[in-house]
Amino acid sequence: MKTKFSKVFWLIIPLLAINACKKDKDVPPPDIPEQNKAAFISDYSNRLYAANAQTGLNLWTYATNISYNYIYASPAVNKSTVVFADYENHTVYSFNAATGALNWERTPVDLAWLCSPIIVNDIVYVGSYNKLLGLKLSDGTTATETELYSSLNTLNYSNGLLIAGTCGGHLYGIDLSGNIKWEYLSNSSCYHFNAAINNKTVYILSSGAKLSAVNITNGAEIWSTMINEYTDNASVVYNNGMLFIAGDYDNRIFAFDAANGLLKHSYIMPTDQYVNGYMAPAILDGVVYMTSEEGTLFAFNIANETIKWQKVLDLGGKTHQRIPVKLDGRTEDYAYLASVTIANDVIFTGAGRYLNAFDKNGNLKWQMATIDDINCSSPVILSDKDKVYRGGNAGVVE
């Protein structure tokens, strides 16, 4: 016998189903953590490599027609494109990031040998001898051209401006159309490596050991100090109100107060390990990660100034891998190593003929072999959310 209850019951079931579907549709998808997708690095023989950042599988390799050259510039990367500036070959190459297919090449370009290019929007900005060139990402033709005082050595982007440092001691703020908005002049020689940028302030070290803080909006000096030749030619890394610099003369990593430039701490390396000032440290969760010239990756705990862990990197059976190079009229020693890059809790660095990925505890996640030695070109990481991570001196590319 049918009742009112049974009629109502059968009417309620489809309504509940419809309501359940509606609720499922309205529930936002879970927040999936960002994952590293690809890692890019170059070697001593002008090869560019792309690796799966999860597994270390080589995705593609491109070799130019020049062998054995000093490549210190890392590639520029965005979600679909990789741009490689080949100093010796005077050529800028653009590749499909996923496949390695050549999009275009621009030659001849009188490239600055230390300056890594950077991609902002649809332009790749490249350091030339005494120019900043903006090349269209679509075909490599010139979009902007800015005359500078001398050779461009360092290039970053923040707050709508390209921050460019030269070997003449000139630091520029340049808009994306190539117009110089401000200029800061240090009377203390070159800016060789990258600045740190935080809260609209640029922190940069000259080769004459002058550490400066500059307002990114107008180029006004906030403070400057001489750091007594703790180092020269080094990058500056910002973290939690402190500026970290590798000191190759004193064999230490130094920490300065970002508010005034005063020395706060120094972290000495073990007696059998030596700091290379050209290798930038990177910082994550209160730990400084740094490679020594002998090929050891160190993790320094900032709070208690102790070594948390250290790992000897694979240098192909050699205990110390260095080559003499002429720079600024004097002989320097370079290790076949790369600066550390951190992306999503993974520590990437190159050593010998390997690109390595470690977790925060120093466990090797994977290792990708390269054909020749990696020579100072730090890894550049692309995530699955299209974020780009460069060496410890630059962090996330905005």
Token code pair at residue 126 = 């490249």
pTM listed for this prediction:
0.86
For residues 5-10, give the mean pLDDT.
48
User: What's the mean pLDDT when you consider all of the chain?
Assistant: 82
| pLDDT value of residue 326 | 37
Task: Check residues 362 and 29 and name the one with the higher pLDDT.
Answer: 362
Instruction: List, in sequence order, every residue forming a beta bridge with 83; answer none if it has no partner.
Output: 76, 94
Taking only the tens place, the pLDDT of each residue in 104-120 is 999 988 887 778 899 99
Mean predicted confidence (pLDDT) in 37-56? 93
User: What is the spatial distance between Cα 249 and Cα 384, in angstroms, rounded to a whole number?
Assistant: 40
Strand order in the sheet with 196-198: 196-198, 201-205, 210-215, 221-226
CA distance 231 to 252: 9
CATH topology of domain 33-397: Methylamine Dehydrogenase; Chain H (2.130.10)
Instruction: Determine what percent of the chain is predicted with pLDDT higher than 70.
Output: 80
Phi, psi angle pair for 224, to nearest 5°: -150, 155
- Indicate whether 323 pLDDT > 50: no
For the chain, what is the HEC assignment? CCCHHHHHHHHHHHHHHHHHHHHHHHCCCCCCCCCEEEEEEECCCCEEEEEECCCCCEEEEEECCCCCCCCCCCCEECCCEEEEEECCCCEEEEEECCCCCEEEEECCCCECCCCCCEEECCEEEEEECCEEEEEECCCCCEEEEEECCCCEEEEEEECCEEEEEECCCEEEEEECCCCEEEEEECCCCCCCCCCEEECCEEEEECCCCEEEEEECCCCCEEEEEECCCCCCCCCCEEECCEEEEEECCCCEEEEEECCCCCEEEEEECCCCCCECCCCCCEEECCEEEEEECCCEEEEEECCCCEEEEEEECCCCCCCCCEEEEEECCEEEEEECEECCEEECCEEEEEECCEEEEECCCCCEEEEEECCCCCCECCCEEEECCCCEECCCCCCEEC
Mean pLDDT of 377-397: 80
Q: How confident is the model at residue 26 (pLDDT cuts 50, 70, 90)?
A: low
Query: HSE of 52 in the Cβ direction (CA atoms, 13 Å)?
Result: 8
